[in-house]
Amino acid sequence: MKILVTGGAGFIGSHVTRMLLNSGHEVVVVDNLSQGKKENVDKRAQLVVADIRNIPESTFKGVDSVIHMAGLIIVPESVKDPVKYADNNVIGTIDLLESMRKANVKNIIFSSSACVYGAPKTLPIKEDAPVHPDNPYGASKAAIESFLQAYNANFDFNVTILRYFNPYGPGEMHEPETHAIPNFIKAALAKKPIPLYWNGEQTRDFIYIEDLARAHIDVLSQTGHNIFNIGTEKGVVVKEVLNEIFNILGYKVPIDNLGKRPGDVQANYASSEKLKKSVGWQAKVDLKEGLKKTIDFFRSV
């Protein structure tokens, strides 16, 4: 198949692109390089430097499916500037969908987030849990999901929504970096105080990047309208992740307690049973192995 990957120069997008290519697919990456890096894109892929609002029509020639991963992702920033997130993520996605419709490309896999659930009433979180985002980033993802449902209903789009929990792994080099694991590892390797919110008492579902990327290949043949969680189904207290990093490194560093952070929820972890039943996917890399691989990457850069 020929797959167009928006945001394919980013952390997750570059891993998905590489896995698609290794699986024998042809890949076109569309990225405006505002966050992603050109060097992240596998040389076997075609790179089109463009914003999702104005992708050249010729880019869609021969494309069978779009994996849509482009978007702003920083929760605290979304709290400070909700309009920016509505404009870029939601309106940008509608522009993409209209470009797809004109090109008669009607298959899309969307990179959504566990943020759409907000603070869950029950754990693990299943796909039928209420959508109740607690921050504008999550609200932008929920709004996009609603538009995708409308395009399925009105224009016969095949839509698969993947709600990510907490991806981590080699290659995560956001600027600025707001995610826990890369910040913990970089600080620990530099032997500087580790930035920690909420005293590390939050519970999260950390999913290794290769497991996450593999799910996108597994759902390529899905039709209709589908929503799947992608997580390990195991909730881990953040301070336990920190202790595991210290165990791997063989030393500890001080903690920089940053207090509360707006937009965070106390606990979430996934039920991915629906995805397992549909395509046989399940997480394979446990936290210890994933952290070791991620530490090795940051030691090498």
Give 171's pLDDT tier (boundaries 50, 70, 90): confident
Question: How many domains are there within the chain?
Answer: 1
0.75 exceeded by the pTM?
yes
CA nearest to 8, candidates 48, 41, 54: 41
The span from the CA of 70 to the CA of 36, in Å, is 9
Q: Is 266 inside any structural domain?
A: no
Query: What pLDDT, on a 0 to 100 scale, did the predictor assign at position 11?
Result: 95
The span from the CA of 15 to the CA of 217, in Å, is 11
Q: Is 295 inside any structural domain?
A: no
pLDDT tens digits, residue range 121-163? 899 999 999 999 999 999 999 999 999 999 999 999 999 999 9
Q: Is 126 inside any structural domain?
A: yes
The span from the CA of 98 to the CA of 74, in Å, is 26
Return the number of other C-beta atoms located less than 10 Å from residue 200's C-beta.
18
Give 177's pLDDT tier (boundaries 50, 70, 90): low
Place of tokens 């979180």: 125
Show the tokens assigned to 2: 């020929």
Q: Is 260 inside any structural domain?
A: no
Mean pLDDT of the chain: 95
Average pLDDT over residues 42-59: 97
Question: Cis bond leading into 182, ω under 30°?
Answer: no
- Whether 216 contacts 21, CB under 8 Å: no
Q: Burial, 248: exposed, middle or buried (Cβ in 10 Å; 0-12, 13-18, 19+)?
A: middle
At a CB cut-off of 8 Å and minimum separation 6, what does 91 contact?
53
Query: What pLDDT, on a 0 to 100 scale, did the predictor assign at position 263?
Result: 66
149 three-class SS? helix
pLDDT tens digits, residue range 209-238? 999 999 999 999 999 999 999 999 999 999
Query: What pLDDT, on a 0 to 100 scale, did the predictor assign at position 71?
Result: 96
Q: Is 180 inside any structural domain?
A: no
- Whether 213 contacts 7, CB under 8 Å: no
Least confident of 74-88, 157-171, 173-187, 190-204: 173-187
Q: Is 93 inside any structural domain?
A: yes
Give 10's pLDDT tier (boundaries 50, 70, 90): very high
The range of the structural domain enclosing residue 92 comes to 2-168+206-231
Query: What pLDDT, on a 0 to 100 scale, did the predictor assign at position 264?
Result: 75
Q: Is 67 inside any structural domain?
A: yes
Show the tokens assigned to 181: 């694991």
Numbers of helices and strands, H then E, in the chain:
10, 13
Q: Is 300 inside any structural domain?
A: no
pLDDT tens digits, residue range 266-297? 788 999 999 999 999 999 999 999 999 999 99
Q: Which residues are catalytic?
A: 137
The runs of H, that is alpha helices, within 66-164 are 75-80, 82-85, 92-103, 136-155
The span from the CA of 157 to the CA of 149, in Å, is 9
Check residue 193 and report its DSSP letter.
Answer: P
Taking every pair of Cα atoms in the chain, the longest distance, rounded to a whole number of angstroms, is 57
CA nearest to 116, candidates 104, 103, 133, 100: 133
> For the domain that residue 63 is a member of, what is the CATH number?
3.40.50.720
